[in-house]
Structure 1
Amino acid sequence: MTTMIQCISPVDGSVYAERPAASPEAARAVVARARKAQKAWAKRPLEERVQLVLKGVARLNEMVDEVVPELAWQMGRPVRYGGEFKGFNERSNYVADIAASALAPIVVEESERFERRILREAHGVVFVIAPWNYPYMTAINTIAPALMAGNTVIIKHAAQTLLVGERMVRAFNEAGVPDDVFQNIFLDHATTSALIAEKSFDFINFTGSVEGGRSIERAAAGTFTGLGLELGGKDPGYVMEDADLDAAVDTLMDGATYNSGQCCCGIERVYVHESLYDAFVEKSVAWVSNYKLGNPLEQETTLGPMAHKRFAAVVRQQVADAVAKGAKALVDPKLFPADDGGAYVAPQVLVDVDHSMDFMTEETFGPAVGIMKVKSDAEALSLMNDCKYGLTVSLWTRDAERADRIAADLETGTVFMNRADYLDPALCWTGVKETGRGGSLSVIGFHNLTRPKSYHFRKAL
């Protein structure tokens, strides 16, 4: 019996899309086509591969009128925000600009006697397991540089954004990327694990939950397959006494609640110096209370539903548990009549929180944020590091040297100063602890998607 993979729309709970999962035999055939096509693709000139990828990006941009409402139906982001094209294009264009230099040989010696150099060689078949929260932007982080570097790519998207991989592959194939070089596949968990265990792939990039990452590591055990894992997060902000208060509120509250808080590097906890604490809390509550929660297909909606009611249930449970332990919820729920107890969740700001509460230590991944008062950098640093995750930290101060001193002791992948919830394609996107391992984008991203190959030629005996 064929397993059907379904996308249940958070807009109205209906089945928005469904596709049959590939059988193990059909999945192996997809992998075989990708492997057969890879050598010829890698032998094409680098600039040709780069331009074909950029044509695929341009073709997807032409589908904007279809892509944006599809995203609203699949995962709930309001159409007023226009999809993910800004970041999608920025990342694609940047890796295209640096591809030649990132993949250039490292020449150690070129003399009459010796040629010694290190080349970057494609891994082979790259498997991208993409998430639903930013389904285009997170996927392109690996797809664009992997294809440019000479790999073939197979993408498996989350069920919640079932149509995204299909649409991306269609755009790239229509733009001239060969069908077997970039393929979409629908898989159940059992077949996915079996393919990984069979060493079907030469590199796997996964963005998702910690448990999902563990499952992939277990499946890959003993295969020596390269893995890139971006997993959970509980990203903090720290507002120092010399911070620009209004800018901090605007950026951190947006980082906590945009996309219904469903951001890998979203702000989930904020530590504020006692001198600014009261003002920060007051302004934050006013900022968050200004959202209009509703149907994401309506232009006036600024906050849509969470992607699934089970994700919303986690947020509500964590908030309720924190309140039961003494926290105070400051945003009036009456301001958000669209909160239906299901996927539509009102945003919330909690104070009187501490690290005995899951709300301040476990990933929430929803439109709710906790704010704590601190007296010093040392106290803030201790609290920020008191977490099993480490993706980004947002520091707010006018003193770059002070931020640099704090940053040196932070256990995180990226440190922002006076910025938050942003991925810079020129910098390596990486995490520590249970946030995962590996890194995408930047020159380092290209290096992770290739392997070094050394040439040592003695020309004169």
Structure 2
Amino acid sequence: MSETLRTISPVDGSVYVERPLADAAAINTVLDRAQKAQKAWRNTPIGERQAVLRRAVTAFVAKKDEIAAEISWQMGRPISQAGGEVAGFEERATYMIDIAPDALGDYNPGEKAGFNRFIRREALGVVAIVAPWNFPYLTAVNGVIPALMAGNSVVLKHSHQTPVCAERFAEAFAEAGLPEGVFQYLHLSHADTEKLMGDRRVDFVNFTGSVGGGHAVQRAVAGKFIATGLELGGKDPAYIRSDVNLDHAVENVIDGAFFNTGQSCCGIERIYVHESRFDDFVEKAVALVSQYRLGSPIDASTNLGPMVRTSSADFVRNQIDDAVAAGAEALIDPATFAANAPGTPYLAPQVLINVDHSMRVMSEESFGPVVGIMKVASDEDAIRLMNDSEFGLTASIWTADEDAALRIGDRLETGTVFMNRADYLDPALAWVGVKNSGRGCTLSKIGYESVTRPKSFHLRTKI
């Protein structure tokens, strides 16, 4: 008898879906089918690939209301915000489809008499993608669409919290007429996921998840020579300079910290404020956070839903308690949020001051609705603190001085530098991380390099 995954909804603790986990025979069949289908798909003209994938995007977006509701029930995002993920999916997928001919075109290094020389991008083969629950479509689409456009076949393993998302991908591709076997999904145990990644038929692994999960991926593929793309989270900082537009910064930094209940790899988890603006920033930030409405994500008036599970909320509660015990001051009274309830995923947002980097809340990834705010005396002070982290996914600088943002950004150990915005992926720019935030690149023209290999042609035309 096969094992079963059960998705427990954070909305009310009910079992939202149950699915059988694939056994060894099913995994073997899927990989054989993927290998066979890829051989034909890679020879399909790129214009035909574009047409199929554009139809798939259209089919997916047509069901946006159903998909948004499923997101809310599976992982707890407010229904008022869940539809934005479908819009983001469409934006990223469309951009990567549109740029594919240029990104995958032959590169000519220059004329040389008597020779025809160029470099061609060639599909890797079978790409395994392991996707998380927090942005279940936006994380997966970064890998799925470029891999398919480049001529690979894809096997998607989605989180047990969001298994319906994998099925929605398959449904859209089937409606679009994608050849059978080019895209498939598997519901798998952790052990079988590692076996999938280590299988000789898998040529590349794209993983989004924890640092521990990233190490597990590296171990799983250690017996063969393939690359991996790893996005492993962050502890992303924001720096509020003295010349900031304060109202704009407060509105956007707080949104960057608490959107999706803080469950974003590139969400703001640390804020450094120039001492001349510290008191005003904190006052305005607390006033804004106090206006959040914590409750059932199915209620259209909610803008702060539950965390994905009680254990995740308890982790954040413990971080807050430890910080307060070490001298931090909590500025939000949880009792003012009626839905806040210990022992459940419903957790009131929290703003902490008098924090420092000896506290877990300023060093560990929180992945929840809490942010610490520190006072700094200078750009140098801010740079030192922003770089004092094992993570490096994004960092944001809030200033009226673009030159200052560039100077500071050049010195930050991060994959993306923002000025006056945060928690956003522009599909035209490379999405990368440094340090424990991972390795590899998705999105942009550069992202296609991860799912292809270069093949050089050196043709002597005159003898």
TM-score by length of 2: 0.98
The yes-or-no answer on 1:71 pairing with 2:75 is no
Which of 433, 443, 446 does residue 444 from structure 1 map onto?
Answer: 446
1:377 is matched with which residue? 379
Question: 1:112 Cα shift?
Answer: 6.5
State the SS of the aligned residue for 1:344: coil
Question: What's the counterpart of residue 388 of structure 1?
Answer: 390
The one-letter code sitting in structure 1 at the alignment partner of 2:436 is: E
- Partner of 1:221, secondary structure, is coil
User: 2:209 maps to which residue?
Assistant: 208
The answer (yes or no) to whether the contact 2:294–2:348 under 8 Å persists in 1 is: yes
Contact 2:114–2:460 (8 Å) recurs in 1: yes
Letter in 1 for 2:86: F
| 1:161-240 equivalences in 2 (<5 Å) | 161-240=162-241
Q: SS of the counterpart of 1:447?
A: coil
Superposition CA RMSD, Å: 1.1
CA shift, 1:111, in A, is 6.4
Paired residue secondary structure (1:457)? strand
After superposition, give the CA deviation of every residue in 1:406-451 in whole Å (9 maximum; x if it has no partner): 1111000000011100001011000000000001000110111100
Check the 8 A contact 1:7/1:74 in 2, yes or no.
yes
The reply to whether residue 58 of structure 1 matches residue 58 of structure 2 is yes
Q: Tell me the SS of whatever aligns to 1:159.
A: coil
3-state SS of paired residue (2:17): strand
Q: Deviations over 1:298-353 (max 9, x none)?
A: 11111111111111111111111101101011012122110122111111100000
Identity over aligned residues, as a percent? 55
Give the structure 1 partner of residue 248 of structure 2: 247
Residues 252-261 or 328-337, more deviating: 328-337
1:403 aligns with 2:405: yes
SS of the residue 1:453 aligns to? strand
In the alignment, does 2:260 pair up with 1:259? Answer: yes
2:416 to 407, 414, 417: 414
1:282 equivalent to 2:283? Answer yes
C-alpha separation in 1, matches of 2:197 and 2:441: 20
Cα contact 1:268–1:364 (8 A) shared by 2: yes
How many angstroms apart in 2 are the aligned matches of 1:426 and 1:85?
A: 18
Do 2:126 and 2:154's aligned partners in 1 also have CA atoms closer than 8 Å?
A: yes
Q: For 1:82 and 1:457, how far apart are their aligned partners in 2?
A: 53
2:357 to 352, 355, 358: 355
| Aligned-partner residue type, residue 447 of structure 1 | E
Contact 2:198 / 2:220 at 8 angstroms: preserved in 1? yes
Distance 1:179 1:309 in 2: 39
- Would the aligned equivalents of 2:233 and 2:266 in 1 still touch at CA under 8 Å? no
Tell me the SS of whatever aligns to 1:248. helix
Structure 2 contact 416–431 (Cα < 8 Å) conserved: yes
Deviation at 1:196, TM superposition (A): 2.1
Shift of 1:109: 4.7
Output the amino acid matched with 2:371.
V
Q: Which amino acid aligns with 1:17?
A: V
**1:147 to partner: Cα distance:** 0.6
Following superposition, the deviation at residue 2 of structure 1 comes to 1.4
Are 2:37 and 1:37 equivalent residues in the alignment?
yes
1:184 CA displacement: 1.1
Q: Distance in 2 between matches of 1:436 and 1:390?
A: 8
Task: Give the conservation status (yes or no) of the 8 Å contact 2:68–2:86.
Answer: no
1:6/1:17 contact within 8 Å kept: yes
Give distance in 2, aligned partners of 1:286 and 1:382.
29
1:21-57 deviation line (CA, Å, top 9, x unaligned): 1111210110110100001111111011012111111
2:4 is matched by which residue type in structure 1? Answer: M
Distance, in Å, in 2 between the alignment partners of 1:29 and 1:226 is 24
Output the CA distance in 2 between the equivalents of 1:170 and 1:309.
31
Please state how far the C-alpha of 1:233 moved relative to its aligned partner. Answer: 0.5
| Aligned residues of 2:214 and 2:232 also touching (Cα < 8 A) | yes
Residue in structure 2 matched with residue 118 of structure 1 by the alignment = 119
Please state whether the residue corresponding to 2:155 is helix, strand or coil: strand
CA distance in structure 1 between the aligned counterparts of 2:314 and 2:163, rounded to whole angstroms: 22
Structure-2 residue corresponding to 1:28: 28
Q: Which residue of 1 aligns with 2:133?
A: 132
Q: Is contact 1:244-1:397 (8 Å) kept? A: yes
Residue type matched to 1:263 in 2? S
Q: Within 2, Cα distance between the matches of 1:110 and 1:125?
A: 35
- Worse-superposed segment, 427-436 or 90-99: 90-99
Q: Distance in 2 between matches of 1:438 and 1:304?
A: 32
Answer whether contact 1:274 1:373 (CA < 8 A) is retained: yes
Measure, in 1, the Cα distance between the counterparts of 2:359 and 2:25.
47
Question: Which amino acid in the other structure matches residue 45 of structure 1?
Answer: P
Equivalent-residue separation in structure 1 for 2:158 and 2:457 (angstroms): 38
Report which stretch shifted further, 102-111 or 8-17. 102-111
- Please give the alpha-carbon distance, in whole angstroms, between the structure 1 residues aligned to 2:178 and 2:112: 39
State the match for 2:13 in structure 1.
Answer: 13
CA distance in 2, matches of 1:369, 1:81: 21
Secondary structure (helix, strand or coil) at the match of 1:187 reads coil
Aligned to 1:433: 435
Q: Distance in 1 between matches of 2:384 and 2:163?
A: 41
1:2 corresponds in structure 2 to 2
Q: Give the distance between the partners of 1:200 and 1:282, measured in 2 at CA.
A: 56
| Deviation by residue 1:206-255 (Cα, 9 ceiling, x = unmatched) | 00000011111011113112100000200000000001101110111000
Report how far residue 165 of structure 1 moved.
0.5
- Give the conservation status (yes or no) of the 8 Å contact 2:128–2:197: no
SS of match in other structure, 2:287: helix
| Pairwise CA distance, 1:94 | 1.1
- 1:309 is matched with 310
